[in-house]
Structure formats: structure tokens, C-alpha cells
Structure 1
Amino acid sequence: MNRIDWIIVRRLASNVGLTLVVLFGIVLLVESLNTTRFAALSATGGAPLALTAVALAAARWIIDTLPLTFLVGTVAGLLNLQATREMTVIKASGRSVWRVMIVPLAVTLAGGVLVTLLVDTAVIQFNRTLSPSSTTSGEVGRSGTLWLDEQQGDVHYILEAGYVNPSGTALGSVNVFLMEAPRDRIEAATAELVGNEWVMAQATRYRSNEMPEAMTDFRLPTARTAGDMRARIASIKDMTVWELAGSLAARLTDSRERAETETRFLRLLALPLTLCGSLVIAFAFTAGYRRTNKYGGAVLYGIVLGVLVYVVTEMAGRAGGAGVMHPVIAVAGPAVVAIVIGVTVLLNREDGRT
């Protein structure tokens, strides 16, 4: 990285950072308007806990809208370079826009990887520490109780567990309601997922008009895997990239859960590529030479295109999560299209061909 590259990266980074700070402040203000949640958290752990929770919620918003925010910040940085004629001097030195864009692309790629692997993970972990109940979904209620309704062959039962291990393979305070006659009820202190069975080392069977019967090594068949359980006890959006990878590696049998998990996992992995698409679009619409400093139309086109790409990305992500579209196409498609559009515009404006 030479001095010119350093100037460009520093100018773009400062404007992107300023944009993120401004948006973070706005989202922070919006989140603080939820007075009910703020009061509940303040009663639990005081004002510091409530403020931290609000800040973490705002951080999640920033990460979710990062491609669009990054586009706006990059456009502002390039306009700054144009207004001071620094971009004109850089091009006059013999550097093409392609050469100018190489180092910012590399920095953007590295920053996207950092956000995916570290920043997003840290925000989720802190949010989980402050409000564990907010990360539960599916069959897990606010109280932490798990309900499973399953039928395997002739065995139909509803399982209730008062405690669920984060791995999803160990349960505590278990009650099993057998739905077939004579409708027995099974109580057990613990249950573990071993292979395709829930294994209860010590259990008690309750049957109408009969004395309770103690049992050992009681087993119930199940089609759920460790990956299924991990996906069901936590909200997909509140799982880190490492946990998503673990769920996929644990063989998800539920097609809906697998589609949601795979789409979320690939979206995190594709974040660097999406940010690169935003950078290319910003360069395509604002890095060109102008005799005057009137860039209103170019900026408007760039931001509108960025918003369009963001909306398409969200819609494709929902389609991938619902299983309507293959997750790889749903995630990589919008990012690749954004890069292709940006490169096409640059070729037309800089090299005079498409």
C-alpha cells in the first residue's frame, strides 16, 4: 500500500465510520423509545444493563443493514475526494479507477470477514448474556420449557422438559405424555439424545388406576438429531456463524430448519462479497470525472441502486429461508449481480464499452 492508496482508504474509512456512527445514534434513539423493555431491564439490572441492551440491539440493526450503510459512507468518501480534486490528481498521475479500487476492495473484504467471524459473534454472545430468553424460539417458551410433539410409527407422544442444555441433547425435569391408550405419563429427572432415541436412565410410569412403576433405561424413538435440537432451541438469527456451522454439521433432518440455517450461515459468509458489491457500485456512480461538483444525479442513482440491491437481497434471503429458492442462489445471487452491474457501469464510463 503506497501513499495514494493510504489516502483513499483513510478517507473512505473515515466517512464510512461517520455514517455508521450517525446511523447508530438514530437507531439507538429509536430503540430507546421502547420504554416498556427499558423499564423491565432497568428493574432487573439497573440503568447500565438497560443501556447496554439498547446499544446491542442497535448494533444488530447496524450489522443487518451494513451493505446499504457502507454504500452511503463510500459514496460520501468518494464525493469528498472529488470535491477537493484529489481524485482528479490521482487519475492525472496515471492511475485508472481499477487500480484505485484494488486496495479498498482488499480492505473491504478483510473488514467483512472480521465482521462475520468476530463482531457479529461478539454482539450475539453479549446479547445472549444480557437477555437469554430473547434467543429462544420454536418449541421453547419464554420460561425455558421445551415442548415436542412427535410420532414415530405406533408411538405418539408429547414431551415436556423444564430444562434444556444449550446443545439440545440433554433435558431435565422431563414429562412424557403418551397419546395412545392407555395414555401413560412418564416422569424422569433427565433425558439424553442417544442416536435416534431419548434415553431416560431412571423414570417413573403413571397409569390410571395403577401404582406408579419405576423403570430403568426407558427409551423413546425420535427422528430429531442434535442439529435439529440445536436449531429448535435457539432463534436462527441469534446463532453465531460457528453455531450455525455446528448445526449444519450435525445433520439437520427438518427441511425447513435446514433451509433457514443454511441461508443464515451463507448470508454471513457472503457479507464480504456483498460489501464489495456496494463498493463497486459506489465507485461506478461517483468516481468518474466531472467538470463541476454537481454529483446529485449520480449519487441518487447509486443510492437507489444500492437500496434496490438491499431489498432484493432481503427478499432472496427470505425465499431461501423458506425453501423456495436454493440458499446458495438466494445469498450469492444479489451480491454477484451488484458487482456485475457496478463493473458494467465502470466499463462503460471509463473504457467506453460494455
Structure 2
Amino acid sequence: MIQVSDPSHLYSLAIHQVGNMSQDEALIYSYGPVDLNDQEKTTLLLNYLMKPFQKNEEYYNLQHSSGELNQNYVYKLATTIFESNDNLYNASKLIAKYLFETVQDPKVKGGKLFIAYFTYILVDGEEVNAVGIFKSESIETYMKVSPNQKEIYDFESDQGINLSKLDKGCIIFNLEKDKGYKVAIVDSKSKEGAYWKDEFLNVIKRDDSHAKTDLVIELCSNFLQDKITDHFEMNRAEQVDLLNRASDYFKDKDQFDIQEFSNEVLMQEEVIESFKSHKKSYEDYMEIEIPESFDISTQVVKKKAKEFKRKIKLDSNFLLEITSETNRIEKGLDEETGLSYYKLYFKEEQ
């Protein structure tokens, strides 16, 4: 969780206009940092920038393909700001120029770029300083209604930023410098292109229990949902039984152990071997190495519970959700109608 509520903790701020170079739009620098003496306006701005991060549970590290962190331009400039917050304005212009030159996709909208320096920001219970980079791409029309001199209400329209919707942002915490800093990201339009995370920031998921749990749940779900039926004959109820066991494993355990998971969930040797083969293919494709054991993140398990789709869809008429005891389900074929059926055994209706 990320928290900052006192407007004085927004120590300094610069705002620039960053257009899309491929659309012949301009890069326009402000002439200096923003005056933050108006507490009411600063509070509004602080809420706009920070609210999307309040429930953040996923973190990244800045990186570079060469392995040299200083080759990551955002990392280099963030380090300059951490060394002295007086460097923020000059560094903010370089960040804006770098973003302007990085974006090649003509579909990416230009917008206002906010570069901020925060003091005493709280991240997962730890108080640190941070650099924030935020981009607002969406301009909306709003109507202002007010009385004129004759006390008759009139209205006028204008355009501005919707304070309830931040398009893109990142907060770089002054933690884990040697690993590429601890970074939180917001990207409300990630489907339009990965330029924010992959090209501009160049980040990788932080190597922690959250990232590992997220990765392994995706691996297990992909195998049990899509791959297992390619190699083994089983009906949907049997497949759901495996999904239930996998879901219960992640809910009940504090630590993931691949051998334990294989024995308790997959059980059959041929299924275990197929899973190991799938894991190896997944690692090769993703260019990663999944650890054999690690602490399970309960936050991720709650968030990713829907990954294990424990439902049986019957034509377009019925949807069965099965949470346990698939031995109470019997599948058959009605010879008279030629239709398949499921018979469910239960003690009482709830």
C-alpha cells in the first residue's frame, strides 16, 4: 500500500507538454517549477496523482538489457534527483525530452507530463522519498454554471483534466538502488501499446513473493485450463477437480514447493512429467527461471482466484460452478434424446 496525505510531502513539481513527434506535435517546457504554496490546489493535485496507487500490490525494477543500470535513462535521472532535489526541474526537462523522443507510435496521445519529488511517502509501512512521473493524456469538456450580475444562472464550457482518471504514472522509491529501485506503475491504457512500461521506463517485475506467486499461478492455470486436455483424456468435471485442488493448495499453503504441489495436486506421474515439460517450455518462452520454492503472497492468491475457472458451461443454458467434491457428480448419456447429462448428489439446498 502506498500513502501520502500531507500536501507538504509533495516537495517540488514541474509540468511540461509532451506531444507526439510522429504527429508533428511539439515538446513545450515550462519556464520553471510549479508554485505549491496554495494548499487547497496542492491537495487536489496530490489526490489526483496518488489515488490510483493506494491499493498497489505489484512492484517493478528499472532495468537495461546491457545489465548496466546507468544505461537506463530514467534510472540515471531519478538518481540525480535523489542526490539533490534541487535537480528536479532540470532533470524533468530531460525526462520530458526522453519521452518525446522515445514514443514512435502515432496512436499515442500527447499530454501533460508531471514530474514530482515526494518526501516521507509511505510504501508498505516504510517511509521513504520518491520521484513520480505522471502523464495525463485525456482532456475532457466540462461545464461551469454560475450566476451573472443579475443573479441569473449562466453556463460556459471549457476543457481540462478529469481529476478522477490518471492515464499513466510511475513512482520510483528511493529503495533498492542497486536493483533498479522499487517502482510502482499505473497504466490505464496499457492495451493501446506498451510504450510506457517497456520503452520509456524499461522495467521488469520485481523479484519478490508477489511476482513469483503471480507467475506460478499463471503457469499452473494455463496448464490445467488449456494444456492438460491436449495430452490426457478427461471430462470437464475431472478437470475442475484438478483446478479445485490447485486453488486450495495456494489458499492453504504459506510456501509454494513444486514437488509438494505436484504430489498433492497433480498426483499422477505422467501428469507431473507433462507439467514439468510445460514449465520448461514456459520458462524458455518467457526467458525466465521459475524457482522451485518461495513464499506465497496471499494478496495475489485473492486477486488471482478467478484464474482457476471451476465452472462447467452446458450449451448456452446452464453454468455449473463446482468448488469441491467432484465425486458427487456423475456424467452420462441419455440414449433416447442423445443428450449428455450431469447427475448431482447433495444433502440439502442452501
Length-normalised TM-score, structure 1: 0.21
TM-score (norm 2): 0.22
Larger strand fraction of residues: 2
